Amino acid sequence: MRLLERMRKEWFMIGIVLAIAGAKLEPSIGVNGGPLMPEITVSYIAVATIFFNSGLSLNTELLA
C-alpha cells in the first residue's frame, strides 16, 4: 500500500519518466514537423503546463 501512496504523490515525476521512455522507444513521433509539432508544443504548451502544475502544488497559506 505504501508504493501506491508514493506513486500518487510522485505522479508527475512518474509521468516524466514514462514520457522519456516513450520518446526513446519511438522517437519519430517527436521530430520537427511530426505529429506532435514540438516546435509549438514544447515552446508554449509544455512550459506553461509545468509552471501551472508547480503553482498548484504551492501551499496557499504560506503565500498569503
What is the model's pLDDT at position 24? 94
In a domain, 24, yes or no: yes
Looking at the domain assignment, is residue 28 inside a domain?
yes
Does 30 reside within a domain?
Answer: yes
On whether the CB atoms of residues 30 and 38 are closer than 8 A, the answer is yes
pLDDT digits (tens, 9 = 90+) for 1-24: 798 898 899 999 999 999 999 999
* Percent over 90 (pLDDT), the chain: 45
- pLDDT tops 80 at residue 63: no
Q: How many domains does the chain have?
A: 1
Residue 26 forms part of a structural domain: yes
Distance (Å, whole) CA 19 – CA 42: 13
Residue with cell 509521468: 15
Whether residue 64 lies inside any domain: the answer is no
The parent domain of residue 14 ranges over 2-58
Residue 46 covered by a domain:
yes
Under 8 Å CB-to-CB from 29, ≥6 apart: which residues? Answer: 22, 23, 35, 36
Q: Which pLDDT band holds residue 60 (cuts at 50, 70, 90)?
A: confident
Q: Indicate whether 29 belongs to any domain.
A: yes
Instruction: Give mean pLDDT, residues 18-40.
Output: 89
Per the CB < 8 A criterion, the answer to whether 18 and 10 are in contact is no
